[in-house]
């Protein structure tokens, strides 16, 4: 692998990022979904033995941050300080393990990298200044062509854009039209899923125009990163915010870390910002002489009643409050199970309760608790099989082994919901096996047979503890502690056909919700 400045970097690294959300409003369920998806992918890669690094953060140098702060009559920095903490709290409460949280208002961690990127693109001849008049959506922090509007409204926010005329710096995106098409077509920059790849190609083939990468300092009320050598302009939000993917791993301040980790293996983003990540961003990187990311993974929206959640519609669910009611594992499970990885999906709090009770408590939790409790009470917390298993035991463990392989394949392709379905199938197979084997009868009539049954059940629990690690880390930690195992790799999920399994007294993995 060739890294920055052509240095050969043969590493086992895996670098993944979330999108960098605006702080003009509180986090919504879409942010929660993205945090969970990113975390599942990162945890799976750790099980595969990769050296994983996760970057997230907040986009604070936007015009709408300034406007929102002015509306509340507080300084922009104070406003961003407060709102950034809510995103940190969401990341913590939902279990996103990150290595870098970069705030774009942080001069030490971020600004030097942005300035360096700007100078590299400027030296490549791709930045120039001109007066421009266009249709601007503050919500998107982007200019739109009239042909891109829907009935005269921004296609994302369904609000009328304002006509803005000002002198800005522009980036020569048009210079990279052919290179970008080749990148996407050949999957050198993979856009997932295929429908989003086709969407990007269609946009490129319509013809790319140069885009604004600065705004007047006067209009932004002096807020933001000054353009190098021109204090009258501030770096425009997308050039600034996208740079977090670089500064999160030390660009401009920690050369060694940056050389180790770049390029990004996956950017996880929502479909509303695909143009900026799959077109603008790789063009900027190519201009600066940097490698492009390997993949942009695009998820859909969390909807309510079939409509995108919006404060104006009154259908917003506060993820922090939902987490307070149903816990980390409950919310993670629901989002991964009910919201398709690459499509829109509807959120219903009533459905959260039903899903937790029926699938977490009634299926996975029920199997684990009945199996481990029986072992603890009747075999002192240890079951052993010295010879090879056969018959019904071999049959169910072979079935489980097949499902483990399918789950790994799903995770390797980031089909997160499919992998979770495999886990459910494993627990269902375990419940069926336990019920049909009737250990409550053989515990007195044939203890050797009973022990084989319970060893088989405990082996399936061991498999579940590993497979749950990317999805439900709290439950995985509990279950692995009950089984006295240390999860180190995905190979630990393979079913055991002989040996000894020691268990502690278990507590329910999940609580039924009223």
Per-residue model confidence as pLDDT tens digits over 234-255: 998 889 999 999 999 999 999 9
Helix (H, G, I), strand (E, B) or coil at 60: coil
Rounded to an integer, the average pLDDT of 286-302 is 97
Query: What is the tens place of the pLDDT at every residue in 428-441?
Result: 999 999 999 999 99
Q: Give catalytic residue positions.
A: 28, 31, 137, 140, 154, 157, 308, 311
Q: How many CA atoms lie within 13 A of 462 on its CB side?
A: 28
pLDDT digits (tens, 9 = 90+) for 37-79: 999 999 999 999 999 999 999 999 988 888 888 889 999 999 9
How many other CB atoms are found less than 10 A from the CB of residue 380? 10
| Alpha helices by DSSP H, 280-391 | 281-287, 319-338, 349-355, 366-379
Q: What is the model's pLDDT at position 316?
A: 77
Task: Give the model's pLDDT for residue 2.
Answer: 41
**Nearest CA-CA partner of 286 in 175, 199, 200, 204:** 175
Among 502, 443, 487, 417, residue whose Cα is nearest residue 43 = 487
Looking up tokens 């990341």 gives 91
Quote the pLDDT of residue 314.
66
**DSSP track, 420-469:** HHHHHHHHHHHHHHHHHH-HHHHHHH-HHHHHHHHHHHHHHHHHHHHHHH
Lowest mean pLDDT among 181-190, 253-262, 306-315, 379-388: 306-315
Q: What is the mean pLDDT of residues 91-119?
A: 97
- Counting residues of the chain whose pLDDT is more than 90, the rounded percentage is 82
Q: What φ, ψ does residue 18 adopt, rounded to 5°? A: -90, 170
Residues written for the chain: 514
Average pLDDT, the chain: 92
Is the pLDDT assigned to residue 10 strictly greater than 70?
no
The confidence score (pLDDT) of residue 312 equals 55
Helix, strand, coil percentages (3-state) for the chain, rounded to 5, are 55, 15, 30
- Among 4-13, 109-118, 190-199, 394-403, the minimum mean pLDDT is found in 4-13
- List beta partners, residue 136: 143, 162
Contacts of 73 (CB under 8 A, 6+ apart): none
DSSP single-letter state for residue 348: -
Give all domains of the chain, ordered by start, each with its CATH number: 4-299 (3.40.50.620), 349-502 (1.10.730.10)
Q: Which range among 214-218, 308-312, 326-330, 386-390 shows the weakest confidence by mean pLDDT?
A: 308-312
Q: What does DSSP assign to residue 210?
A: -
Structure confidence at residue 157 as a pLDDT band (50, 70, 90):
low
pLDDT band at 5 (very low <50, low <70, confident <90, very high): very low
* Distance, CA of 37 to CA of 32 (rounded, Å): 9
Q: Are the C-beta atoms of residues 283 and 171 closer than 8 Å to each other?
A: yes
Q: What is the per-residue pLDDT across 365-375, written as a single tens digit (0 to 9) for each?
A: 999 999 999 99
Percent over 70 (pLDDT), the chain: 95
Average pLDDT over residues 444-466: 96
pLDDT of 144 > 80? The answer is: no
Higher pLDDT, 40 or 387: 40
pLDDT at 138 over 90: no
Packing angle of the helix pair 194-205, 177-185 (nearest 10 deg) = 160
Which is it for the CA torsion 396, 397, 402, 404, positive or negative? positive
135 pLDDT band, cuts 50/70/90, is confident
CA 33-90-53 angle, 5° bins: 75
Confidence of residue 495 (pLDDT cuts 50, 70, 90): very high
Question: Taking residues 340-368, what's their average pLDDT?
Answer: 96
Q: Which two tokens stand for residue 179?
A: 């290179």
Statement: the pTM of the whole predicted model exceeds 0.75:
yes
Residue 4 pLDDT exceeds 70: no
DSSP 83-135: HHHHHHHHHHHTT---SEEEETT-IIIIIHHHHHHHHHHHHTT-EEEEEEEEE
In this model, does residue 1 exceed pLDDT 60?
no
Rounded CA separation 444/159 (Å) = 72
């Amino acid at each position: 692998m060739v890294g920055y400045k052509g240095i050969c970097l043969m590493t086992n690294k895996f670098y993944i990022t979330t999108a960098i959300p605006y702080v003009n409003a509180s986090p919504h369920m879409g942010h929660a979904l993205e945090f969970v998806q990113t975390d599942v992918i990162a945890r799976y890669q750790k099980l595969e033995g990769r050296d994983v690094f996760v970057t997230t953060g907040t986009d604070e140098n936007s015009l709408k941050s300034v406007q929102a702060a002015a509306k509340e009559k507080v300084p922009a920095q104070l406003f961003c300080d407060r709102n950034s903490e809510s995103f940190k709290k969401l990341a913590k409460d939902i279990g996103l393990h990150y290595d870098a949280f970069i705030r774009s208002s942080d001069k030490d961690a971020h600004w030097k990298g942005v300035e360096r990127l700007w100078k590299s693109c400027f030296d490549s001849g791709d930045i120039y200044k001109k007066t421009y008049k266009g249709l601007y959506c503050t919500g998107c922090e982007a200019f739109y062509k009239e042909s891109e509007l829907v009935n005269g409204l921004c296609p994302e926010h369904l609000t009328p854009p304002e006509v803005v005329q000002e002198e800005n710096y522009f980036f020569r995106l048009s210079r990279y039209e052919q290179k970008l098409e080749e990148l996407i077509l050949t999957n050198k920059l993979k856009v997932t899923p295929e429908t989003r790849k086709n969407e990007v190609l269609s946009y490129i083939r319509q013809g790319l125009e140069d885009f604004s990468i600065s705004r007047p300092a006067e209009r932004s009320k002096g807020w933001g990163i000054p353009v190098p050598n021109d204090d009258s302009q501030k770096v425009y939000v997308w050039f600034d915010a996208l740079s977090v993917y670089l500064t999160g791993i030390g660009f401009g301040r920690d050369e060694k870390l940056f050389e180790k980790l770049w390029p990004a293996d996956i950017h996880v983003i929502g479909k509303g910002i695909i143009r900026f990540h799959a077109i603008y961003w790789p063009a900027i990187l190519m201009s600066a002489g940097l490698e492009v990311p390997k993949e942009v993974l695009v998820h859909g929206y969390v909807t309510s009643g079939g409509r995108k959640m919006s404060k104006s519609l009154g259908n917003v669910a506060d993820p922090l409050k939902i987490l307070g009611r149903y816990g980390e594992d409950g919310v993670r499970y629901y989002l991964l199970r009910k919201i398709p990885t690459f499509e829109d999906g509807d959120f219903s709090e009533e459905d959260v309760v039903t899903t937790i009770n029926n699938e977490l408590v009634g299926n996975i939790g029920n199997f684990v608790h009945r199996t481990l409790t029986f072992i603890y009470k009747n075999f002192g917390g240890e079951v052993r099989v010295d010879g090879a298993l056969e018959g019904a035991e071999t049959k169910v463990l072979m079935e489980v082994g097949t499902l483990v392989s399918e789950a790994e394949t799903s995770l390797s392709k980031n089909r997160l919901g499919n992998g979770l379905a495999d886990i459910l199938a494993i627990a269902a197979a375990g419940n069926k096996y336990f019920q049909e084997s009737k250990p409550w009868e053989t515990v007195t009539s044939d203890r050797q047979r009973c022990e084989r049954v319970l060893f088989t059940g405990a082996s399936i629990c061991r498999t579940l503890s590993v497979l749950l690690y990317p999805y439900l880390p709290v439950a995985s930690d509990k279950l692995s502690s009950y089984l006295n195992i240390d999860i180190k790799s995905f190979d630990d999920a393979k079913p055991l056909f002989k040996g000894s399994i020691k268990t502690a007294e278990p507590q329910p993995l999940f609580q039924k919700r009223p």
